[in-house]
Structure 1
Amino acid sequence: MPAIVDHESRRAHVARIAADIIARTGLEALTMRQIAAEAGFSTAIVTHYFANKQELMLHTYRSAALNAQDRVAAALSEAPGDLLACIEALLPCDEPSRQDWKVYLAFWRLAALDPDFAAEQASQAIKARAILRRVLLARAESGLPLPRQDVDQLAQHLLVLLIGTAVLAVFDPATWSREALRDYFIRELGAMGG
């Protein structure tokens, strides 16, 4: 009797290996052959799940974004209005989230040149802003102070701050440690009146 293969699990496994390669050596080093070797599969198995490198990269990027959404959901499970916890869940504060950010950065380079990747990047930015907006509204509904700004503008402002500090943290994790990122956002949120 043939073994039953969980196709979604196999795709996720291949995407994790791709993310590891990208984080370690960059997008240029990512090949179907290298992924197959690191997974212990044949190249035919990898190409069964992903027709080409572009499809694999898109899936890997979406997986990194889903990782961030899962971290946010876990952080907000008990306090949906905890803005600082939401921001920390989106930042590269540990090795798995730093790896996700390295995938994002590699993807952004493609997004600057390819309309399909650009559309995906725009979609993910809208989702991130919506998460921040939802947390701001939950914060207000629970009676916690909300900065004196339009919620949509504030969510956009926070997203820009988050992306900027995340990029700095990827390239200079010694300066932008988890504690430094936390302190920065505590100051920023305090300055906004939140």
Structure 2
Amino acid sequence: MLKKQTRQASGGGAEMAVRRGRPPGDPEVKRVELLKAATSTIAEEGYANASLRKVAQRAGYTTGAVTYYFANKEELVLALVESRFDRYDAMLEGIQAETAIEALFERWLRLTTSDPEFWPVMSELLAHARHDPALAAVYKQRYGRFREVYTSIIAAGQVRGTVRDDISADLLADQLSAMADGWALLFPLEPERFTPGRVRELVDAAVALIAPVPGARR
């Protein structure tokens, strides 16, 4: 009888240990849910007001569940920025084979304007990165990689003769990135400027700007 009680007590202790450990459920699904909750919280309340408690409440979890996956707010934000750039990378992977600048612009605009929280969050975190070296390092590294791939796509277009080559590919990539970033930053403030028809016109204008210039080959 005593041994049975001991086993029961031991089993109960193990169960409590599990409860204090990893929260039940698929860890990857929970991470995604928490990142979505963090995105909405930052988009609506700003970075400064986005506490782990608010993120947990929005996701329907306890604060302890959040800190199991992310030790603190800084770690959560870094993961959020990485996940955003992962979406950029996935977009670029899908376009590299065809190296079509027009398709790149279209997919980029579709990605960044189809999600009303995308740029409000990215601009909030970019502003905060000025005072956060770890976050700034992630932005620089991931955005640098984005521009490298962008440059390779433009360079391939120059070789094929579909992109002007009197300006270097890296300069064109920098200019086009800055222009597209400007559109995206203004999109949350002036959504009426970015109707499907006008987005089509913006893409056509950007492609025209980098079209080959007769007699201007390097």
Q: Do these two structures clear the TM 0.5 threshold for a shared fold by scoring above it?
A: yes
Q: 2: CA distance between counterparts of 1:27 and 1:53?
A: 10
* Deviation per residue, 1:79-126 (Å, 9 max, x gap): 6212122123223221x2x42222211111111112212211211221
Tell me the distance in 1 between the aligned counterparts of 2:85 and 2:202. Answer: 23
- The residue correspondences of 1:34-113 to structure 2 (distance < 5 A) are 34-74=54-94, 76=95, 80-91=98-109, 92-94=112-114, 96=115, 98-113=116-131
- Provide closer, same or farther for how the CA distance between residues 9 and 144 of structure 1 changes in structure 2, counting only shifts above 3 A: farther
Q: Does 1:127 align with 2:141?
A: no
Q: Percent identity?
A: 24
* Structure 1: runs of 5 or more not aligned: none
The verdict on how the C-alpha distance between 1:37 and 1:114 changes in structure 2, with shifts beyond 3 A counting, is same
Higher mean alpha-carbon deviation, 177-186 vs 119-128, is at 177-186
TM-score, normalised to structure 2's length?
Answer: 0.76
Is contact 1:80-1:139 (8 Å) kept? no
Which residue pairs with 1:167 in the alignment? 185
Which secondary structure does the structure 1 equivalent of 2:187 belong to? helix
CA contact (8 A) 1:22 1:29 kept: yes
Does structure 1 retain, via aligned residues, the 8 Å contact 2:88–2:146?
no
Shift in Å at residue 4 of structure 1?
6.2
Distance 1:55 1:48 in 2: 11
The 1-side partners of 2:193 and 2:126 are apart by 23
Mapped partners of 2:196, 2:138: distance in 1? 28
For residue 44 of structure 1, what is the amino acid of its counterpart?
G
Partner of 1:146: 163
2 CA distance for matches of 1:192 and 1:85?
14
RMSD after superposition:
2.4
Alpha-carbon contact 2:34-2:66 (below 8 Å) kept: yes
Instruction: Report what 2:3 is aligned to.
Output: none
Give the match's secondary structure for 2:38. Answer: helix
1:115 partnered with 2:133: yes
Letter in 2 for 1:31: S
**Preserved contact between residue 68 and residue 89 of structure 1 (Cα < 8 Å):** no
| Contact 2:187–2:193 under 8 Å retained in 1 | yes
What is the aligned length? 189
Give me the whole-angstrom Cα distance separating, in 2, the residues matched to 1:147 and 1:17. 43
Query: Which has the larger Rg?
Result: 2
Mapping 1:1-12, distance limit 5 Å: 5-12=25-32
